[in-house]
Amino acid sequence: MPAEKADLVVRAGRMLPAADAELISDGALAVHGGRIVAVGRFAELPHELTSSARLLELGDVTLLPGLIDCHVHLAMDGSAAATGSELTGSDAELACRMINSARRLLDAGITTARDLGCRGEVASTVRDAVRAGLVPGPRLLVANAPITVTGGHAWRMGGEADGALEVARQVRIRAKQRSDVVKIMATGGFMTAGSRPWEARYTEEELRTCVEEAHKLGLPVTTHALGVEGIRRAVDAGVDMIEHCGWVTEEGSRFDPGIAAKIAAAGIAVCPTMNTACLADPYFCPWDEREALLANLRGMLAAGVELVAGTDAGIGLVPFENYADGLDVLADAGMSPRAVLAAATHRAATALGLGSVTGRLAEGLAADVVAVRGDPTEDLSALHRPVQVITRGRTYECVTPSEADRAEQRVAAQHIHDELTVGSGRGR
């Protein structure tokens, strides 16, 4: 038994300690110094551990591990009808925007997020401010500027590099900037006009140089990879994770079961960035028709690929509060509620290298908790209604976005789809 006495006890009608665990009625967890020191039925928590703790009674809700978004862009404004990857404003303004976005992630029940694109060292600074408790927000992992070819996707963030030597230098700069992960653009992207999302932009050798240099410095590598050939090169180069993995060609998408099998065999996690744009209504994802997108997800699942939750939140009309929309899309592709919960909690934590830190409610792990109305093991819509978040022991009451906001987003959806299609070079 831990020697420390709990400073907080959280009690609820139900508790789900992990996505694959049984529900515990009248569940509770005890927290000391931001870490969980006991989990179980409220009546069975050791009295000597909890006697002097503050009791937070949440009533008829389900406690579960805090949610994880593996792919966000905190410096962008997801509530706006934006179709580009430019970041306007000074570094101070970007930092303020990121701080506001981090707070909005809490409203979605997110206790860990990975920011995958901002210029300079702004993201590192905001991460450290959240970690120190200076501003509210989830635990953050940051990439700072992604590495991209000259004029490539998101080049305005400042990570342009051509050839293996320049790629290696950019990796070293990321280490100097205290980045948690290196992101490299294996293909173009829809939000950078002219970058051709279906086209591979780095050779396999250049990608392998990125991986080898990052691993020497203790950094994992994730890659933006939309096009089929770019995906193949990234897998063969040994990346740790793939973002989007859209199987995009110039005409549409084309799932490749052979490459998917290699992804699964290598143990590479895929964050397919399902989000509000991928819902049936409104559907404004520019990759392909919705049924093709769902078929690609099903193909990866059938091949044994590990899919983890991430939304690309911050891009146009993908607000940070709408995290659960992406989980609904995973369910539409055939994942069970428990499989979706795993993708949003402990499997995501493992993919991010945080499996020993968060993702479950267990002794010794961080007190990262979300409370939702209903039972998410039966009905994922419960995840749209978080009421309370605890991140590393700090409590936060969630604010629910209005239906008027959602209606406004639907009006602008077709505009975004059309603009991204034209900007990518597909539109005529």
- Average pLDDT of each block of 10 consecutive residues along the chain (428 residues)? 80 98 98 97 94 96 98 88 68 96 97 97 98 97 98 96 98 98 97 93 98 98 98 98 97 96 98 97 92 98 98 94 97 98 98 98 98 97 97 93 61 61 60
Give CA angle at 227 (417, 160), nearest 5°.
90
Instruction: Report the distance separating Cα 43 and Cα 27, nearest Å.
Output: 9
Give the model's pLDDT for residue 7: 96
Encoded tokens for 161: 């590099």
**Is the CATH number of domain 8-65+360-397 2.30.40.10?**
yes
Domains 8-65+360-397 and 68-351 share a fold: no
Instruction: Report the distance separating Cα 195 and Cα 231, nearest Å.
Output: 16
Give the model's pLDDT for residue 77: 85
Asked whether 351 and 403 are in contact (CB, 8 A), the reply is no
Give the model's pLDDT for residue 161: 98
Encoded tokens for 194: 């002219």
Q: Where are the domains of the chain?
A: 8-65+360-397, 68-351
Whole-Å CA distances, 16 to 12, 288, 347, 367: 10, 36, 15, 14
Give the model's pLDDT for residue 411: 58
Q: Please give the CATH superfamily to which domain 68-351 belongs.
A: Metal-dependent hydrolases (3.20.20.140)
Give the model's pLDDT for residue 157: 96
Q: Is 122 helix (H, G, I), strand (E, B) or coil?
A: helix
Contacts of 126 (CB under 8 A, 6+ apart): 74, 95, 98, 99, 102, 135, 137, 140, 142
